[in-house]
Structure 1
Amino acid sequence: MIKYKFFILLIIGVILMGCRDEDALNENNDDDTEESVTNPADNPDYSDWTVETHSNSAALNYDVVFAQDTVKRFDIIISSSNWSTMQSDLAANLGSTSGPGGGGPGGGGNNLATSDYDPVWVPCSFKYNNTEWYHVGVRFKGNSSLQSAYQSGNGKLSFKLDFDEFEDDYPTIKNQRFYGFKKLHINNNYNDASLMRDKVAADLFRKFGLIAAQTSFCELYVDNGSGPEYYGLYTIIEEVSNTVIATQTGDDSGNLYKPDGTAASFANGTYNDDEMVKKNNEDLNDYSDVKALYDVINSSDRTSNTETWKTNLENVLDVDVFLKWLAANTVIQNWDTYGRMTHNFYLYNNHNTNLLNWIPWDNNEALQYGKNGGALSFSMSEVGSSWPLISYLIAIPEYNTIYENYLNEFINTVFIPSELSSIYDSYYNLLKEFAYNERSGYTYIGSDSNFDAAVDELKAHVTERNNAVINYLQ
């Protein structure tokens, strides 16, 4: 009898276990069903969603986003209320004015743009090639250029896009991408009548073996409630923290800094963690690598024990990369960066080398003569201790020789007049239609002939700078 009862209980147990397993299986099936319901491709409100165009599982498509032989059309559709939010944010931070972009000629309040000001994000619909991306984050971008354009009444402002900025508000679009890219900069070619300096400078740096963002062109239309308006010809810039580091170094785990402010000079007594703006790894709160660079560059070993100083410097900074950038940057006459201004560069701690790499950024003021006192001279004789990464390195004969060798290499392998002239002609033909169509209040081009003349100046500039390097090195 006991055995019989045990047998009955065993059967009941098996039945209960089977029911429990079936419930578990049903729960898993419910999860799968829920996942399929929230798949954007299955939602009629997100009918344009495909893996290739929208998913973060898609490979980065440089051939589409950074195609070199075409001008893409981008459309940004922002609700009138969100546009008002963006304008109010500009007015609160840059001064209340009136005009196409919020500013008016000669206008502006008492507020000044600072490196601490990040314009407000709002959601928009973004369209390209008859395809829509949903609830994309958009904001204005820039510091002094944003302030200057806004307060002068120029509506051609720069934008930044983040394709999953609002994923918490719209979980269905989680990890939305634009052909694999999370973020893009849509730069307005500020104060550049040729519309191509930002692009060409970045391309030259990369061709010379330096890390620099990929670039391409787009015509931008913005609809803020009254239909699409042509905002002009823009340059698309790759986001350094998002894809540049990973694709060009093979490692994106190291600290990435975008120094901005007095500390970005690395001059003695200026160091400040807050101005060594971290673009990743913020939770680690570790600035030891960039602080080590500051400590070494200002160490007394520089004058008392030079070889030790050099060894310590080369253990924290990729000195060769810095000197290579310095040579190229000086040849192309880029004044709006280190040596003149305390911004517009990144430092990346490349874990493949455990060295800080110098990365140029924001090159729209390059490739021109004399503005704001001009770029640095080839000799760097005017550069003092306020820019120690230049003055202290150039004072070392070995480093100065490396720098001068790079001057010569740059004009013979990259900055070649005949090749650049052909590139400028190609871009002129590509951009002319869009440049001529730019409209008053949304342009930095005074006239069609102004665009033509600016391209001719670029051609003359490359020849003049090549000759200047040759004369300096004789």
Structure 2
Amino acid sequence: MKKFFLFSILLLLVTCRNQEENNPITPDPPLFQQAYQPPYFQTDSQKFIYDIDALPEITVEVSLVEWNKFLNYYDQNPNNEEYVAGKFTWVKNGTTEILDNIGLRLKGNTSRRRPEGNPGETHNATNPDWHHASFTVSFKKYNKSQLFHNSEKVVLKWFKDDAMYAREVYSYDLFEKFGVWTAPQSSYCKLTIKVTGDNKAAYFGVYQLQEPVDDVYLANRSTFFSTTGNLWKANWGASFKDASTSNMGIEDVTLTYTNTPIYDYKGSKSNLETAKTQLADFITNVNSKNGDDFKTYISQKMDVNLFLKTYAVNVMVGMWDDYWNNSNNFYFYFDAAGKFYFIPYDYDNTLGTSLLMTDSGIQNPLTWGKSDQNPLVSKVLSIPEYKTQYVKYLNDLIDKKYDLFYLDYSQQRIQKWQNMIFAHVSNDTGEDMTITDVPASWGNCGFYRLRGNSSTDNYFVRKAASIPKN
């Protein structure tokens, strides 16, 4: 009897081990832990800078000479990444911090603009013509030892085409609530630009504070195996279909020249060839392996569970300008062990701002993009248990039990943020002066609204209704 009991215990242990080895999806903790506890500890720097409940005041002061250089750089090449020197002042909760000798440059793609006047014009101190634009502030550009709460840079992004002042902030907040720890941090601030000598500084209004995806981003996430891997930015055309290394390189932007590869390597030039080989090998395997071979490969190469969570949120917020649909707008990282991580990025055209698909609010989340041209998501979802897990995450997001995508909770969060920023939206550019419940005017679904609860035009209601149950 004793031998039979020992044999039964041994058989049970072997069976459990085999089941674990054959199931590459790691079981999740209870959903309330996913939804309310980030799976990594945010650094003090992240908590202080990207504080969703605060509205810090930022002033960037630039000399007249440097500001005119800034405008001239744009005229020579709107895509330029040239910095000018300035001073950074931060005021939060009554405490003021000042950093001298910081760097300021333009940021953005379609949102990139000349922040004052027309091409060829210099600064007009008496009647300036200000325009919203996005900026990067580098604290160590001119002082290599200077940091701001352990951060090297922050991105200051205007709310282009988002009259609700909420879409991208909401999306990144939802990623965080759902345990997608690879998403950048995001919050609000007030921005003022001061040209030294002017009688009046220019108040640019409410801006989004956004965490850059860079070495500090990697260091802030101890959940990565290491921070000594290979980081890439994926530009339009990054389909993971073509393994040619001619699509890979390091962006080269000057005042007279712009060369942006499809796969833009963010590491050291000395490591570029090794990084190219690694990426080409990944693309080749994604395309060539099928069935069980693909499942074995991808379960070892990726955190599939994290990827499924990421794409559940991505589709839920209606991100059509993404990898799966438009081969665009994401970063990715291979850690030192060679594991691949997908990093979501650029979520301003969401929550009812729809284009390149008939209606991003009701598009089938199982056929979101171009499966033949963008194979990574479609091949992952072709595996039955991965598809089941993905659909489960979609349904978790809309479940009333959790403070995630459900209509009431989403509207409460957005209303809370709007209450905080409402009195500060009006600004000296004369642009984006009110909070209005409409998507971008150039989209194909101008009827969408985020307030109210109509089944015909509320984005949250229509999106929830489109989610398959199994």
**TM-score normalised according to structure 2 size:** 0.73
1:331 equivalent to 2:293? Answer no
- Residues 188, 149 of structure 1: CA spacing in aligned structure 2 closer, same or farther, 3 A cutoff? same
Q: Secondary structure at the match of 1:181?
A: coil
Identify the residue that residue 404 of structure 1 maps to in structure 2: 391
TM-superposed CA distance for 1:342, in Å, is 3.0
TM-superposed CA distance for 1:368, in Å, is 1.9
CA distance in 1, matches of 2:131, 2:327: 27
Identify the residue that residue 135 of structure 2 maps to in structure 1: 159
Q: How many residues align?
A: 377
Identify the residue that residue 456 of structure 1 maps to in structure 2: 451
Identify the residue that residue 296 of structure 1 maps to in structure 2: 285
CA distance in 2, matches of 1:458, 1:281: 50
CA contact (8 A) 1:223 1:229 kept: yes
**Whose relative contact order is higher, 1 or 2, with alpha carbons under 8 Å and at least 6 apart?**
2
Identify the residue that residue 230 of structure 2 maps to in structure 1: 255
Identify the residue that residue 184 of structure 2 maps to in structure 1: 213
TM-superposed CA distance for 1:201, in Å, is 0.6
CA distance in 1, matches of 2:109, 2:410: 30
2:82 pairs, out of 92, 105, 120, with: 120
1:429 equivalent to 2:419? Answer yes
Unmatched runs of 5 consecutive residues or more in structure 2: 1-42, 120-128, 250-261, 440-447
Instruction: Report the identity percentage.
Output: 23
Give the alignment of 1:1-40 within 5 angstroms. Answer: none
CA contact (8 A) 2:315 2:368 kept: no
TM-superposed CA distance for 1:206, in Å, is 1.5
TM-superposed CA distance for 1:208, in Å, is 1.2
Letter in 1 for 2:69: T
CA distance in 1, matches of 2:397, 2:240: 27
Give the aligned CA root-mean-square deviation in angstroms.
2.9
Give the alignment of 1:257-406 within 5 angstroms. Answer: 257-262=232-237, 264-268=238-242, 272-274=247-249, 275-285=262-272, 286-287=274-275, 288-299=277-288, 301-302=289-290, 306-351=291-336, 354-373=338-357, 374-375=359-360, 377-380=364-367, 383-406=370-393
- Residues 411, 194 of structure 1: CA spacing in aligned structure 2 closer, same or farther, 3 A cutoff? same
CA contact (8 A) 2:58 2:90 kept: yes
- Residues 68, 381 of structure 1: CA spacing in aligned structure 2 closer, same or farther, 3 A cutoff? closer
Identify the residue that residue 146 of structure 2 maps to in structure 1: 176
TM-superposed CA distance for 1:448, in Å, is 5.1
CA contact (8 A) 1:232 1:443 kept: no
- Residues 148, 298 of structure 1: CA spacing in aligned structure 2 closer, same or farther, 3 A cutoff? farther
Q: Secondary structure at the match of 1:191?
A: coil
Q: Secondary structure at the match of 2:65?
A: helix
Deviation string 1:296-354 (CA, Å, 9 cap, x unpaired) is 1111x32xxx2112222333233332222112111110122212333321112234x64
CA distance in 1, matches of 2:435, 2:232: 40
1:443 equivalent to 2:431? Answer yes
1:415 equivalent to 2:400? Answer no
**TM-score normalised according to structure 1 size:** 0.72
TM-superposed CA distance for 1:397, in Å, is 2.9
Q: Deviation above 6 Å: which 4+ runs of structure 1?
A: 148-154, 451-454
- Residues 146, 442 of structure 1: CA spacing in aligned structure 2 closer, same or farther, 3 A cutoff? farther
- Residues 176, 423 of structure 1: CA spacing in aligned structure 2 closer, same or farther, 3 A cutoff? same
- Residues 91, 309 of structure 1: CA spacing in aligned structure 2 closer, same or farther, 3 A cutoff? same
Normalized per residue, which structure has more helix?
1
TM-superposed CA distance for 1:454, in Å, is 6.5
Give the alignment of 1:94-133 within 5 angstroms. Answer: 94=78, 117-129=79-91, 130-133=96-99
TM-superposed CA distance for 1:148, in Å, is 9.8
1:229 equivalent to 2:202? Answer yes
CA contact (8 A) 2:45 2:149 kept: yes
Could you say which structure has the larger radius of gyration?
Answer: 1
Identify the residue that residue 243 of structure 1 maps to in structure 2: 216
TM-superposed CA distance for 1:246, in Å, is 1.9
CA contact (8 A) 1:122 1:137 kept: yes
- Residues 382, 350 of structure 1: CA spacing in aligned structure 2 closer, same or farther, 3 A cutoff? closer
Identify the residue that residue 161 of structure 2 maps to in structure 1: 191
Deviation string 1:227-268 (CA, Å, 9 cap, x unpaired) is 310111101111221433222234322211112132x11124
